[in-house]
A and B are shown apart, each in its own frame.
Chain A
């Protein structure tokens, strides 16, 4: 859960230099052109597109199945991004943090703005925060050992029938393992340790379109096979874990080949898209036509449209564009009972309970989302980052509350606590110019000495404005004026951008931590405004005390930020990490602490989840969260739609 449903790609975004207080460090790392339409996704994803097979182009893969088993695939599968991604960590294989021989941290690869840079302060921060040392390595297993993967239990009749349809499939260990997990700490930890898997999917199928899915679901029903839909694989709720008690053949239904924009309607500003499309591809393709969805969960590099629908995802810029439930106009999904969809695209209807809401958040328990019609918007003309420093977290929260009250939240507004502020600073790349160095020093002096902000108390709010230039500047002034009444000082675009950078690379950083005996996770909640402060404080305190009680030898890192504002409350996001040296079973300890933290959240009036979902990780609290009757309603829907439990991932209920 180290990424928020919304992984924003801020590091690539070029920034106009319009706003510049004397405090602000002008960011010179990127070029700015205010005349051409802004294309946010141009830089990183161009490279990615070049090497990435697109739909329609057959890719060649000569890898033979390794076991003595007969070759089951009738066509070489197209594995989506699997080829260029880590099998036991976050993101692209070529991008990772490491401490180089000089003891300095660097980020490898060429994909991100931080790529190829050294981060001189990261090691100090890392060692001081966790009591860790670069000498204590805990390296991961390098390659997947096929012997830890249980042999597939195949349903022969299903396989035979599937072959006849011509839909590609595979039962190779690597393909199956890749789809057997999401990115929970325990899942990644087990992969790194090379632990034996209890249960993984027995085979993977790659439908190419809606009709393929209909065929697969029909066959699954006919042969009583368990289907688990797989989109981007970025779940952090154990939603992709195969239930160990499942005895039927488990088929992972990989939607990655269903990745086309089927049509685009400029009159009504909607696009009809196949649900397997990955966030960044959707955004890039729409950008080519001058549009965007504006839905930018932090995971958008890897997560899929279908996944967003199935988990009720939330995007960083929801203040302008809305969350996924506000964005979808029409959903088509295949269930064991047949296809469910609405008959029109009316912008709002009063036709009983909205059936979309059975599918939104159903977490793959009812069927597969195949096609979605969603709103699109013209690419905004102008975009600008900003940041505000507050003397204390309390002041920052009060400011965000006021901004929400006045309904003038920018596209994104987030408040990082002091720990995260320092964390963000540890990611500063090497400064080359003496001038920048000087300005930095001056800035620090101004804030801490002249304004009397305590460096161990101050917090920073990061802002992102979008729209036409005039409006953005006006909007910006409004927000900074509000901030000023709460003692906030404008702190420049650079700080703002770095804030978003942190969310973006955090999951890569977790892999670095795990190389040095540090386990880390994040979790989120939503809570009414009046409980925000107490919830943050109590949850952090609970984590610290639970760690102590459970024998964690080092002070854990607990940090939080307010990531979304709503009229009546906020979304809060926690980071939690500790050095596990001296612990027999760090994952178990971690899970106990996380469990306690969730209980604390609930006791303080927080929700079970804002956007990560329930999966299997938080099932136990569903009854208390939505009442017995609520659970009964969901159960009866499941009972009607999928009486044989074909979609048997056992999430949610």
Chain B
């Protein structure tokens, strides 16, 4: 197991193979009924789900917390115990091989219908198999689609590896039948808002820790916590991370292996839903009926799916020197203990590391690159002009090929076959997205959603939303590619905004950007200077900057690259500025998130209509919430603890300072953030 440098361990010779190919050739029933004898971790003795639950309920830890809760609430211990047992029943998985087989059969059918290929890296599976023998394994996929949910179990079943238990959100459980099927396929369910429910935390963490400790099964969870609506990585959630790592910190297991897994889609099933949610159309409740209704999605073509099993990461090696495990020596190990600040930082760092690996090993489709260019063109077009709408196909082809070269030199992994000719690859990649983009008479245009049949003419505001829907759908695919360009883009922006050639100035603005945008893009804490150097060296490689000891300059011939990179960031900067200016309005004092989102949205709509704003990202609730989190983190907004909904108070001078700094009107304040 290697630790760093190229944490993804990607090698050019990593070969993907299509698991559907075999399924198209031989019987699905045979596949579902195949002998399945995976060798678990260290030959751990098989444990029934019931026995596992008993172990959890009888643990010292739960006994202790039960007693404590009983004392606090004045209820009897037995009652609290019953409550704990109820929580566990609601939560626990009930993995059964029979259901895995049933699922295997069904998924074979569904996947063959949806996808043309499911490509996996065989080498990664071999490494995984090795890792499972050695220590408890945590599978950490990214989360872009509901399809992720069972695809790993399906693959592991196919390759005779132990089926993981999967952390799932409780809404899934409430779906009739489906909840039970998932439970029997190894899902366990976690409530969304646990808050300060001590008993619930205790049951959950003991449950997870027992699974890790006993090597019961690999644990699969999404470190991002949620499905990403924007197809960008999300800020990692650390609760689960702490739970799975604690058995190592407390010396209950020798090591824990984290396996980052990258699942990339040519086209995400829920794409239209995503844009709706971002624009404030609420997410439909997850119901079985909803699922059945959604079966028309089965009729569409979703291209390929890539599953890349990353290099297993040894927690022991990664945390060496970062965590002093002796801190656990002075309390009984069965008692709850708040991890030290160092440990918390280390866990967060590990999570960022995993996300970085996921990003680096994700596979980009040609469409992702095209989406970047289409959107940039869209931004530059005045929406008023009806004539000459869209980008010409030739231009798009030419630019995409240029971008392909740039992406490859920046280390991106492209799914760009050598055959057929490039033109056709692009066309077929775009064809998958015909619901949102069209090439008509040599011009590529975004399609707007048609209104309900027979509905009257819509208002200009509605028109904006319709346009935005298309833009945000395309933006999601652009976002898939952002991780490749983000750091060099920030350097390019820093050079441009500071109008300085001094390395020091550029670096401090770069750090300012990292800090400000660290909710939108995931950076590794404490790595800013390395990130800067790496970004500079990438830019230098493609001739976009020249560097010396003291200076970083952008020569004329690198303008094409740097302006492309800056344009990539522009929508985000615009969106942040819109939120900033909203919060600096006079009538905004104390506000809730629920008030802020629509208010910002209407401001953005106004600006879009007036042409002051050209990018639609400001309309996305996801981006708006990220701005709020960033401001909270930077202390420009304070949270007032009241009632149910958190209220916030904006610190207007601080916000306008941020706005001015971002726009380059103020130099970066040199109070270095200790986190970076």
Residues of A within 8 A of B (CB): 528, 530-531, 534-535, 537-538, 541-542, 602-605, 624
Are B332 and A530 within 8 A (Cβ)? yes
Contacting residues, chain A, for B326 (C-beta < 8 A): 602-603, 605, 624
Contacting residues, chain A, for B333 (C-beta < 8 A): 530-531, 605
- In this complex, which of A531, A535, A603 has the most chain B Cβ atoms within 10 angstroms of its Cβ? A603
Are B251 and A534 within 8 A (Cβ)? yes
Chain B residue nearest to A607 (CB atoms) is: B329
Per the 8 Å Cβ criterion, residues 355-401 of B in contact with A are: none
Are A535 and B251 within 8 A (Cβ)? yes
Contacting residues, chain B, for A624 (C-beta < 8 A): 326
Chain B residue nearest to A527 (CB atoms) is: B329
Residues of B within 8 A of A (CB): 251-252, 254, 324-326, 328-329, 332-334
Cα A605 to Cα B329 in complex, Å, equals: 5
Q: In the complex, how many angstroms separate the beta carbon of A628 from the nearest chain B beta carbon?
A: 15
Contacting residues, chain B, for A530 (C-beta < 8 A): 332-334
Contacting residues, chain B, for A528 (C-beta < 8 A): 332
Are B251 and A603 within 8 A (Cβ)? yes
Q: In the complex, how many angstroms separate the beta carbon of B209 from the nearest chain A beta carbon?
A: 13
Are A605 and B251 within 8 A (Cβ)? yes
Are B254 and A537 within 8 A (Cβ)? yes
Chain A residue nearest to B254 (CB atoms) is: A541
Chain B residue nearest to A541 (CB atoms) is: B254
Cα A528 to Cα B251 in complex, Å, equals: 13
Besides A530-B333, A605-B329, 17 more A-B contacts (Cβ < 8 Å) are: A528-B332, A530-B334, A534-B251, A534-B252, A535-B251, A537-B254, A538-B251, A538-B254, A541-B254, A602-B326, A603-B251, A603-B324, A603-B325, A604-B251, A604-B325, A605-B328, A624-B326
Cα A535 to Cα B250 in complex, Å, equals: 10
Contacting residues, chain B, for A604 (C-beta < 8 A): 251, 325
Contacting residues, chain B, for A541 (C-beta < 8 A): 254
Contacting residues, chain A, for B328 (C-beta < 8 A): 605
Q: In the complex, how many angstroms separate the beta carbon of A525 from the nearest chain B beta carbon?
A: 12
Q: Which 9 A-B pairs have the closest CB atoms?
A: A603-B325, A604-B251, A605-B329, A541-B254, A534-B251, A538-B254, A534-B252, A538-B251, A602-B326
27 pairs across A/B with beta carbons < 8 Å?
A528-B332, A530-B332, A530-B333, A530-B334, A531-B251, A531-B333, A534-B251, A534-B252, A535-B251, A537-B254, A538-B251, A538-B254, A541-B254, A542-B254, A602-B326, A603-B251, A603-B324, A603-B325, A603-B326, A604-B251, A604-B325, A605-B251, A605-B326, A605-B328, A605-B329, A605-B333, A624-B326
Q: In the complex, how many angstroms separate the beta carbon of B639 from the nearest chain A beta carbon?
A: 37
Contacting residues, chain B, for A603 (C-beta < 8 A): 251, 324-326
Contacting residues, chain B, for A602 (C-beta < 8 A): 326
Contacting residues, chain A, for B251 (C-beta < 8 A): 531, 534-535, 538, 603-605
Chain B residue nearest to A538 (CB atoms) is: B254
Cα A624 to Cα B326 in complex, Å, equals: 9
Q: In the complex, how many angstroms separate the beta carbon of A385 from the nearest chain B beta carbon?
A: 34
Chain A residue nearest to B334 (CB atoms) is: A530
Q: In the complex, how many angstroms separate the beta carbon of B563 from the nearest chain A beta carbon?
A: 49
Cα A604 to Cα B329 in complex, Å, equals: 7
Q: In the complex, how many angstroms separate the beta carbon of A305 from the nearest chain B beta carbon?
A: 33
Q: In the complex, how many angstroms separate the beta carbon of A501 from the nearest chain B beta carbon?
A: 32
Cα A46 to Cα B325 in complex, Å, equals: 51
Q: In the complex, how many angstroms separate the beta carbon of A252 from the nearest chain B beta carbon?
A: 37
Cα A528 to Cα B328 in complex, Å, equals: 13
Cα A542 to Cα B314 in complex, Å, equals: 14
Cα A605 to Cα B254 in complex, Å, equals: 14
Q: In the complex, how many angstroms separate the beta carbon of A243 from the nearest chain B beta carbon?
A: 29
Q: In the complex, how many angstroms separate the beta carbon of A96 from the nearest chain B beta carbon?
A: 38
Contacting residues, chain A, for B324 (C-beta < 8 A): 603
Q: In the complex, how many angstroms separate the beta carbon of A513 from the nearest chain B beta carbon?
A: 27
Cα A530 to Cα B333 in complex, Å, equals: 8
Cα A530 to Cα B328 in complex, Å, equals: 13
Cα A535 to Cα B333 in complex, Å, equals: 13
Q: In the complex, how many angstroms separate the beta carbon of B214 from the nearest chain A beta carbon?
A: 13
- In this complex, which of A535, A541, A604 has the most chain B Cβ atoms within 10 angstroms of its Cβ? A604
Cα A559 to Cα B570 in complex, Å, equals: 63
Q: In the complex, how many angstroms separate the beta carbon of A599 from the nearest chain B beta carbon?
A: 10
Cα A538 to Cα B326 in complex, Å, equals: 14
Chain A residue nearest to B332 (CB atoms) is: A530
Contacting residues, chain B, for A537 (C-beta < 8 A): 254
Contacting residues, chain B, for A534 (C-beta < 8 A): 251-252
Q: In the complex, how many angstroms separate the beta carbon of A639 from the nearest chain B beta carbon?
A: 28
Contacting residues, chain A, for B329 (C-beta < 8 A): 605
Contacting residues, chain A, for B332 (C-beta < 8 A): 528, 530
Cα A538 to Cα B325 in complex, Å, equals: 13
- In this complex, which of B252, B254, B332 has the most chain A Cβ atoms within 10 angstroms of its Cβ? B254
Cα A528 to Cα B334 in complex, Å, equals: 13
Contacting residues, chain B, for A605 (C-beta < 8 A): 251, 326, 328-329, 333
